[in-house]
Structure 1
Amino acid sequence: MTPHRSIAAVFAVHGAVAGSLATRIPWIQDHLDLGPGTLGLALLCQPIGAFIGMPLASRLAYRFGSRAATRALLAAWCAALALPALAPSPTWLFAAFILLGVSAGMSDVLMNAHAVVLERHLGRSIMSGLHGMWSVGSLAAGGIAILAAQAGIDATIHLGAMAVAVLVLGAAAGRGLLRDSVVIGHGLRADGSPADAPPPRRFVLPSRAILAIALVGFCATFAEGATANWAAVYLTEVAAAGPGAAAAGYTVFMFCMAGMRLLGDRVIGRIGPVTAVRAGGVVAAAGGVVVVVARTPVPVIAGFGLIGLGVAVIVPLVFAAAGGVGTNPGESVAGVATITYLSGMIAPAVTGGIAGSLSYPVAFALITGVIVLLVLLAGVLRPVSARPRTGKLEGVTS
């Protein structure tokens, strides 16, 4: 398996864990008899865990090498999938979600940093397709989870079996990752940073350049998170859609985003990252306008699809741009990832607050404004011409 296919499989496995868990949350809530507030606190523990773990990820890659650290943390994320269903009480559930967050956040940072190094030396965009594979893995595992739930399979059995399956698949995928010895042989450290660069710091505030890039990611993730969480409710409350049409809004949004990410690298290769972000932002903003103005299900669903198409390539390009800033890809990616996680965490709550106090169309008008902002900021993703390059790595193919 080539390094490119291997890291694509790693992204798919990471997404499969997320998709498996998300679909069984109702079972966990019913099993522990959790109220909405308690469940909300439990789910909040995962991003808290990610915030704890992300700043430490680049240190692990520096000490043990990108390949070994990525494989180990992916295995931890896969194994942690079984924990929420095994929790005997809310307290243990909180602990399980914190562990999930730590392993998810750290493995997310390292696999994106590893992809940045590989992309740099392949000399072409691969990040959008990798994030597309994450979506494919999530959708596939979510489909399996839906079948398991409909068949009445206990989530303890389902998530335990999936944990074993993704552990095996993740281990197989990790074997083909770019070897540290190849990277070191081309004047870099095992974590992809220059050999003469200082070690990554345990904690560092993001630089101005990273903050600018992260702001684009913040806007894209805000639109993505708000739409994913509120599309079905919006269709029900504003467009008077039935249950099937309401569910279609989320499904169309996710499929459009996944499909565009799989095709995105070709688009980026032709028009460049800045133009791709601007064009995507315009498409997403147009979708937002349709959602705000329309009052029947079909155009609203089409609007959500346009939002998915438009924002699809932006977050992958944000990670790619961050990896080219500074001397340590992992440290830069961690800074951006932390801010995008924050956006994903607050977007559903902010959208719900505005919808409750004003209206759903006003809330999505705000989301459309956020999308317009990222169009204006797209220039910060322009590749850094002074970025160190070592040429194509010998033996590294797509």
Structure 2
Amino acid sequence: MHGAVTGSFATRVPWLQDHAGVSAGQLGLALACPAIGAALAMPVTSGLTHRFGTRATLRVLLAMWTLSLVLPSLATGLLTLCLALLVYGASSGLSDVAMNALGVEVEKRAGKSIMSGLHGMWSVGTLIGSSAGALAAHLGLNAQVHHAIAAFALTVAGLIAVRFVLDLHPEEDDVAPPPFALPPRSAILIGAVGFCAVFAEGASLDWSAVYLRDVLSASAGMAAAATAGFTVTMAVARICGDAVVNRLGAVPTVRVSGVTAAVGGVLVVIAGQPWVAMAGFALLGVGVAVVVPLAFAAAGHRGPNPGQAIAGVAAITYTAGLVAPSAVGAIAQGSSLSVSFILVTALTVGIGVFARVLR
């Protein structure tokens, strides 16, 4: 449900830009607001879960997230669009942390890795939401109508699903976290690994099509296929990732992931033909797929309060998603997109080098 909201929103950004009457630069400013809202709201989640329990908290937060899909389509200018996206991002971050903290608890009880598969389902939801959004756009459906229908359907489905999650409550002697809990130091190191992965993910998602078009003179269809290939390989790798983690362990898996992503980045940088770059982006998708789920799992296993640690890691990784597109664009403006992806490749090397902090 969470991923489907993201996919539904992403496909209608051009409509939102036209409806709000904002320029490309103003749209870039507005699109930074979800990450800002999420980072500000995430530290609150741990206190809410401690006070109300996992099921009640997730029921409200997930409904907030699915219903917030309606808000951006109602914006009529830059200010209202930014405010709508701040609320949209805050509700996303709150429900994201609550789900991941609950996922860590389920993983502990299962005695095996499941986080990669959970994040794989998020990717599947994104693909479903974006496919439905593409169909709605093709049919010329007003985004206000499209998002209202999607929000209603996803809210109902989410409320049904939440009825079956674990309902955890704190023990009587558990100390309540502060209303706004800062992350522990261990979360910063784990978050740095996640930062590298999300930076590569954000750069690839936003710039892969542009890279093939501008650097390798590929057709529009082939350029779009590069982005689709990256998304699909990442989703498949996440769904299959738990089997690898359960066999090799988290640290070796992340080291192999870092090497795979780095090889993909090298192929993108040296590519002389579009198909070589497409293969590189596909390897980048495979390489970064399991890193963030394993970073959240590692944070959740550290210390008595998984939500607090996960919120810290999530805030750092959200920052990478915020920084990556603009950083790649700035470097490309000063030199070239190929140079930008040298930075991306260097960060993927960091995934393998610092994988041990996830032990």
* Same-fold status (TM-score > 0.5): yes
C-alpha contact (below 8 Å) 1:197/1:327 kept by paired residues? no
**1:262 matches 2:250:** no
Query: Residue in 1 aligned with 2:18?
Result: 30
Structure 2 length-normalised TM: 0.98
The match for 1:89 among 70, 77, 80 is 77
**1:53 matches 2:21:** no
CA distance in 2, matches of 1:338, 1:320: 15
Query: Residue in 1 aligned with 2:210?
Result: 233
Query: Residue in 2 aligned with 1:149?
Result: 137
CA distance in 1, matches of 2:135, 2:173: 52
Query: Residue in 2 aligned with 1:133?
Result: 121
Q: Deviations over 1:204-263 (max 9, x none)?
A: 443332111111001111111111111011111111111001101100000000000000
1:195 deviates by: 5.7
CA distance in 2, matches of 1:141, 1:220: 23
CA distance in 1, matches of 2:36, 2:266: 33
**1:273 matches 2:222:** no
1:15 deviates by: 0.2
1:360 deviates by: 1.2
1:125 deviates by: 0.7
Question: Which amino acid letter does the alignment assign opposite residue 37 of structure 1?
Answer: G
The 1:204/1:165 distance shift into structure 2, 3 A limit, reads closer
CA distance in 2, matches of 1:209, 1:48: 22
Q: Deviations over 1:283-304 (max 9, x none)?
A: 1100111111112110100000
Query: Residue in 2 aligned with 1:67?
Result: 55
CA distance in 2, matches of 1:179, 1:238: 52
Question: Which amino acid letter does the alignment assign opposite residue 118 of structure 2?
Answer: L
Query: Residue in 2 aligned with 1:212?
Result: 189
Query: Residue in 2 aligned with 1:247?
Result: 224
CA distance in 2, matches of 1:201, 1:336: 18
Q: Deviations over 1:103-160 (max 9, x none)?
A: 0010001100010111111111110001000000011110011011010111111010
- Alignment RMSD (CA, Å): 1.2
Query: Residue in 2 aligned with 1:355?
Result: 332
The match for 2:293 among 316, 325, 330 is 316
Query: Residue in 1 aligned with 2:356?
Result: 379
Query: Residue in 1 aligned with 2:107?
Result: 119
Query: Residue in 2 aligned with 1:386?
Result: none
CA distance in 1, matches of 2:34, 2:152: 21
CA distance in 1, matches of 2:277, 2:33: 33
1:163 deviates by: 0.5
CA distance in 1, matches of 2:321, 2:60: 26
CA distance in 1, matches of 2:313, 2:337: 29
Question: Which amino acid letter does the alignment assign opposite residue 150 of structure 2?
Answer: M
Structure 1 length-normalised TM: 0.88
C-alpha contact (below 8 Å) 1:291/1:299 kept by paired residues? yes
Q: Deviations over 1:347-370 (max 9, x none)?
A: 111111111112111111111110
Aligned partner of residue 140 in structure 2, secondary structure: coil
CA distance in 2, matches of 1:277, 1:286: 14
The match for 1:169 among 157, 169, 176 is 157
Give the unaligned 5+ runs of structure 2: none
C-alpha contact (below 8 Å) 2:250/2:358 kept by paired residues? yes
Question: Which amino acid letter does the alignment assign opposite residue 201 of structure 1?
Answer: P
CA distance in 2, matches of 1:86, 1:359: 37
Query: Residue in 2 aligned with 1:44?
Result: 32
Counterpart mapping for 1:177-188 below 5 A: 177-180=165-168
**1:202 matches 2:202:** no
Aligned partner of residue 113 in structure 2, secondary structure: coil
CA distance in 1, matches of 2:97, 2:19: 32
C-alpha contact (below 8 Å) 2:44/2:181 kept by paired residues? no
CA distance in 2, matches of 1:196, 1:348: 45
C-alpha contact (below 8 Å) 1:228/1:250 kept by paired residues? yes
CA distance in 2, matches of 1:347, 1:356: 14
CA distance in 2, matches of 1:348, 1:283: 22
CA distance in 1, matches of 2:142, 2:241: 38
Counterpart mapping for 1:333-352 below 5 A: 333-352=310-329
CA distance in 2, matches of 1:380, 1:359: 33
Query: Residue in 2 aligned with 1:387?
Result: none
The 1:272/1:93 distance shift into structure 2, 3 A limit, reads same
